[in-house]
């Protein structure tokens, strides 16, 4: 079964075979964090690609959340303060985790185990929390999801 796509404000990437959907408020740094993860992954020899930045089309196919990009913005990512750059991309990919902002104040320093978030009416994903200013975001994500680089 396939659901109709829903357009959400997020950034979707794939590292290895793991899909990461960066979600959160405008200005949090979703695009820059995703770009940093892509760059880190390639630097250490892991395949990685952008799926979509800013506008992500989410649907469900055979019980799997699929992220896709609108044709008009394929391969483009906005790096705040730098502008739009073109990078390698793939047209669609399964999403495995939602990456959400951690609390800078220290509130919920240890997020609950098994946290999930509703991405759309038919999509719920497990959550990994991440601070926007973490120096090596991919290392943090891989510590939470060790299968990522495989």
Tens digits of residue pLDDT in 127-145:
999 998 888 999 999 999 9
Per-position DSSP letters for 96-115, written without gaps between them:
-EEEEE--TTSTTSSPPTT-
Q: Where are the domains of the chain?
A: 6-145
The 10 Å CB-count burial string (b at 16+, else e) for 122-145 is ebebebbbbeeeeeebbebbbeeb
| DSSP letter assigned to residue 28 | S
Q: Count of CB atoms within 10 A of residue 66's CB? A: 21
Report the candidate in 65, 96, 94 with the shortest Cα–Cα distance to residue 1: 65
Helices 137-144 and 30-43, interaxial angle, to 10°? Answer: 80
Quickly state the pLDDT bin for 121 (edges 50, 70, 90).
confident
CA 12 to the chain's CA centroid: 4
Tens digits of residue pLDDT in 37-93:
999 999 999 999 999 999 999 999 998 999 999 999 999 999 988 899 999 999 999
CATH architecture of 6-145: 3-Layer(aba) Sandwich (3.40)
Tens digits of residue pLDDT in 20-37:
999 998 888 999 999 999
């Amino acid at each position: 079964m396939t659901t109709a796509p829903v357009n959400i404000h997020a950034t979707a990437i794939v590292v290895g075979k793991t899909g990461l959907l960066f979600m959160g408020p405008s200005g949090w740094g979703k695009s820059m964090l995703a770009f940093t993860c892509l760059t880190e992954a390639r630097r250490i020899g892991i395949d990685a690609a952008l799926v979509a930045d800013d506008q992500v089309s989410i649907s469900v196919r055979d019980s799997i959340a699929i992220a896709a990009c609108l044709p008009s913005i394929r391969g483009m990512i906005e790096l705040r303060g730098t502008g739009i750059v073109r990078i390698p991309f793939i047209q669609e990919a399964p999403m495995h985790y939602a990456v959400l902002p951690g609390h800078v104040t220290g509130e919920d320093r240890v997020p609950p185990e098994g946290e999930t978030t509703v991405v759309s009416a038919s999509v719920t994903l497990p959550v990994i929390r991440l601070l926007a200013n973490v120096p090596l975001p991919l290392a943090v994500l891989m510590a939470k999801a060790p299968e990522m680089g495989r």
